[in-house]
């Protein structure tokens, strides 16, 4: 009796498919023909008028893919519908060609699908060139070290409140492997009190100026949602605006980023820091977060910010329940279709304490678990307190994630 082996294959990219076919000696022409048939993609598109949803469904079925739409689309008893599309790369290519001949601006949808597919397929293409760092974030992840010059931050408030203490902490984070230092002068923990701009400036500017002088090649981020603070910080040496409101709290912030050429991290938040954790509710967590990013990216680009200077952050803990945070970490890849670097900040946060029961100063191991999950699921930059341990973990995670068959 023959002993046949049957094993499941984890094929994430066309490159994986090519490597596996070469292992069994597939003809080179067969490899070329089949590599785009072995990787499936799933997209949600919409909202679509019922007639357009019908077209989408029929065209996807015609190329061999699948399309799920709202009940009632077939007889137009539903006014509109989103659609979930599932197909191989080759099927999506044919599908997009068909859409270009259809009404309801479906050619524009085809363009956006093609862009999202290219963003998923390319092995390189997330350049980050800031001061002394020039990397492709698809190949190398980065660590953003947290430096809170505040009396009330949830984890390290009042630990580094003087300029001397802050500088010593920055030096330690850099020596441990931080690629970027993120400096904040106002706590944005749930329920935090607002800090006046002059006080925030007094806290952060001396530290940024001293760090820039001592570490000329170090990328420095200013954690603020206030345009006046951002301008002053950039003038003394900061390179990145890390805005928890994604340019929504201060309408001038987008123009600051555009006029200075700074990198900008656009974070999702529901509500404001003082009230964001009072029963946050979403009708569709991922759709609402995605649309928030679309709005903020458009705001930035319209103001003149170059797309390659944008970073997005889904805002773990900022207007989210425990379940919201877990789902975002599990499905981070939903946000990689933008083709932008993805930053994640989970370090020591309260959702970890809800799971483990540990106080804030004993959440290192669980924080590292969230870093591993985030990097595996699409994150490119991790914002952390514990740089040395994260550096070790990141080195191993990057090596695993970038290993080739």
Please tell me whether residues 305 and 334 are part of one structural domain: yes
Task: Flag whether 23 is in a domain.
Answer: no
Please tell me whether residues 76 and 163 are part of one structural domain: no
What is the arithmetic mean of pLDDT over 343-356? 96
Please tell me whether residues 176 and 47 are part of one structural domain: no
Please tell me whether residues 327 and 384 are part of one structural domain: yes
Please tell me whether residues 78 and 176 are part of one structural domain: no
Q: Select the more confidently predicted residue: 377 or 189.
A: 377
Q: Could you list the beta-strand ranges (E) of 73-219.
A: 80-88, 127-130, 133-136, 142-148, 180-184
Most confident of 70-74, 97-101, 185-189: 97-101
Tell me the CATH number at 266: 3.20.20.20
User: 156 with 384: CB under 8 angstroms?
Assistant: no
Task: Flag whether 16 is in a domain.
Answer: no
Tokens read off for 101? 């001949």
Q: Which of 35, 226, 320, 383 is catalytic?
A: 383
CA 16, chain centre distance (Å): 24
Q: Which of 203, 309, 348, 349 is catalytic?
A: 349
pLDDT at 265: 98
CA 110, chain centre distance (Å): 23
Please tell me whether residues 222 and 132 are part of one structural domain: yes
Would you call 383 a catalytic residue per the annotation? Answer: yes
Please tell me whether residues 374 and 278 are part of one structural domain: yes
Q: Which long-range contacts (CB under 8 A, 24 or more apart) does 162-168 make?
A: 163/206, 163/207, 163/210, 166/207, 167/207, 167/210, 167/211, 167/214
Q: Mean pLDDT, the chain, as a whole number?
A: 92
Task: Flag whether 351 is in a domain.
Answer: yes
Would you call 278 a catalytic residue per the annotation? Answer: no
Q: Give the model's confidence band at 392: pLDDT under 50 very low, under 70 low, under 90 confident, else very high.
A: very high
User: 210 with 204: CB under 8 angstroms?
Assistant: no
Number of domains in the chain: 2
Task: Flag whether 28 is in a domain.
Answer: no
Look up the domain containing 395 and give its range: 127-401
Q: Give the model's confidence band at 104: pLDDT under 50 very low, under 70 low, under 90 confident, else very high.
A: very high
Task: Flag whether 62 is in a domain.
Answer: yes
Task: Flag whether 12 is in a domain.
Answer: no
Above 60 in pLDDT, residue 273?
A: yes
Please tell me whether residues 133 and 261 are part of one structural domain: yes
Who contacts 29 (Cβ-Cβ below 8 Å, separation ≥6)? none
Above 60 in pLDDT, residue 156?
A: no
Above 90 in pLDDT, residue 13?
A: no
User: 266 with 296: CB under 8 angstroms?
Assistant: yes
Domain stop point among 104, 121, 138: 121
Among the residue ranges 25-39, 187-201, 210-224, 231-245, the one predicted with the least confidence is 187-201
pLDDT at 72: 85
Task: Flag whether 311 is in a domain.
Answer: yes
Say what percent of the chain tops pLDDT 90: 76
Q: Give the model's confidence band at 73: pLDDT under 50 very low, under 70 low, under 90 confident, else very high.
A: confident
Please tell me whether residues 110 and 136 are part of one structural domain: no
What is the arithmetic mean of pLDDT over 223-238? 97
Domain stop point among 93, 121, 149: 121
Above 80 in pLDDT, residue 208?
A: yes
pTM reported for the whole predicted model: 0.90
pLDDT at 159: 56
Q: Give the model's confidence band at 161: pLDDT under 50 very low, under 70 low, under 90 confident, else very high.
A: low
Please tell me whether residues 135 and 116 are part of one structural domain: no
Please tell me whether residues 236 and 327 are part of one structural domain: yes
Tell me the CATH number at 58: 3.30.70
What is the arithmetic mean of pLDDT over 251-275? 93
Q: Over the stretch 333-342, which tens digit does the pLDDT of each residue have? A: 999 989 999 9
What is the arithmetic mean of pLDDT over 141-158? 77
Please tell me whether residues 248 and 131 are part of one structural domain: yes
Above 60 in pLDDT, residue 152?
A: no
Q: Give the model's confidence band at 379: pLDDT under 50 very low, under 70 low, under 90 confident, else very high.
A: very high
């Amino acid at each position: 009796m023959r002993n046949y082996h049957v094993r499941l294959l984890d094929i994430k990219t066309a490159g994986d498919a090519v490597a596996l076919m070469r292992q069994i000696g597939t003809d080179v022409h067969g490899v070329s023909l089949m590599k785009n048939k072995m990787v499936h993609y799933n997209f949600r598109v919409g909202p679509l008028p019922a007639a357009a949803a019908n077209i989408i469904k029929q065209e996807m079925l015609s190329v061999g893919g699948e399309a799920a739409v709202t009940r009632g689309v077939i007889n137009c008893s539903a006014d509109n519908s989103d659609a979930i599309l599932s197909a191989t790369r080759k099927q999506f290519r044919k599908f997009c060609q068909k859409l270009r001949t259809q009404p309801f601006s479906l050619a524009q949808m085809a363009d956006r699908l093609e862009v999202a597919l290219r963003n998923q397929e390319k092995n390189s293409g997330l350049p980050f060139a800031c001061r002394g760092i020039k990397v492709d974030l698809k190949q190398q992840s980065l660590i953003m070290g947290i430096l809170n010059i505040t009396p009330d931050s949830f984890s390290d408030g009042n630990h580094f409140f003087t300029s001397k203490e802050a500088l010593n902490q920055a030096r330690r984070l850099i020596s441990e492997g931080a690629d970027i230092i993120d400096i904040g002068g106002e706590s944005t923990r749930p329920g935090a009190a607002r800090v006046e701009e002059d006080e925030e400036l007094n806290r952060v500017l001396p530290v940024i100026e001293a760090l820039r002088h001592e570490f000329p090649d170090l990328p420095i981020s200013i954690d603020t949602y206030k345009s006046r603070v951002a301008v002053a910080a950039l003038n003394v040496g900061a390179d990145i605006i890390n805005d928890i409101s994604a340019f929504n709290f201060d309408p001038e912030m987008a123009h600051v980023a555009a006029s200075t050429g700074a990198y900008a991290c656009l974070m999702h938040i529901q509500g404001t820091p003082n009230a964001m954790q009072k029963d946050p509710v979403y009708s569709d967590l991922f759709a609402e977060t995605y649309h928030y990013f679309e709005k903020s990216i458009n705001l930035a680009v319209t103001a003149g910010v170059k797309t390659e200077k944008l970073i997005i952050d889904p805002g773990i803990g900022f207007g989210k329940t425990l379940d919201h945070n877990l789902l975002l970490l599990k499905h981070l890849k939903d946000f990689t279709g933008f083709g932008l670097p993805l930053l994640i900040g989970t370090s020591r946060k309260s959702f970890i304490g809800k799971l483990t029961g540990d106080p804030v100063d004993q959440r290192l191991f669980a924080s590292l678990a969230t870093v591993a999950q985030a990097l595996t699921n699409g994150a490119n930059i991790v914002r952390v307190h514990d740089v040395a341990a994260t550096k070790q973990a990141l080195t191993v995670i990057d090596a695993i994630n970038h290993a080739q068959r």
